[in-house]
Copies of this chain bind each other. A is one copy, B any other.
Amino acid sequence: VSAPIGIGLLGLGRIGRLHARNVVTRVPAFAAVGACDPYAENVAVELGIPVFSDWQALVSAPEVAAVVISSPTELHAEQIIEAARHGKHVLCEKPLDRELATLPGILQAVDEAGVVLQVGFNRRADRNFSQLRQELSGGAIGDPLLVKITSRDPAPAPLAYLKGSGGLFLDMAIHDFDMARYLVDAEVVSVSAAGSALLSPEIAAIGDVDTAVTTLTFDNGVLAVIDNCRQASYGYDQRVEVHGRNGMLLVDNEQSSTVRRADAAGYHRDPLPNFFLDRYGEAYVREMEAFAAAVAGTAEPIADGIDGARAVEIAVAAELSRKERRAVTLEEVRR
B-binding residues in A (CB < 8 A): 127-128, 131-132, 135, 140-141, 143, 145-146, 148, 150, 152, 190, 192, 194-199, 211-213, 215, 217, 221-223, 225, 227, 229, 231-234, 237, 243, 245-254, 256-271, 325-327
A127 and B251 contacting across the interface, CB-CB below 8 Å: no
A225 and B223 contacting across the interface, CB-CB below 8 Å: no
Nearest first, the 10 A-B pairs at minimum CB distance are A247-B263, A234-B262, A326-B326, A325-B327, A196-B221, A252-B258, A248-B262, A233-B264, A213-B225, A266-B271
B327 and A263 contacting across the interface, CB-CB below 8 Å: no
Q: Chain copies in the assembly?
A: 4
B145 and A198 contacting across the interface, CB-CB below 8 Å: yes
Nearest residue, chain B, Cβ from A243: B229
B259 and A227 contacting across the interface, CB-CB below 8 Å: no
| CB<8 Å pairs between A and B, sample of 30 | A128-B259, A135-B259, A135-B261, A141-B233, A141-B263, A143-B198, A145-B198, A145-B199, A145-B231, A152-B243, A190-B325, A192-B192, A196-B217, A196-B223, A198-B221, A198-B222, A211-B223, A213-B215, A227-B243, A233-B246, A234-B247, A234-B266, A249-B261, A249-B262, A250-B260, A250-B262, A251-B257, A263-B271, A266-B270, A267-B269
A247 and B264 contacting across the interface, CB-CB below 8 Å: yes
Not counting A127-B257, A128-B258, A266-B270, a sample of 14 additional A-B residue pairs whose C-beta atoms are within 8 angstroms of each other reads A192-B194, A194-B215, A196-B221, A198-B245, A227-B243, A229-B243, A233-B246, A234-B267, A246-B263, A247-B262, A249-B259, A250-B258, A250-B261, A268-B268
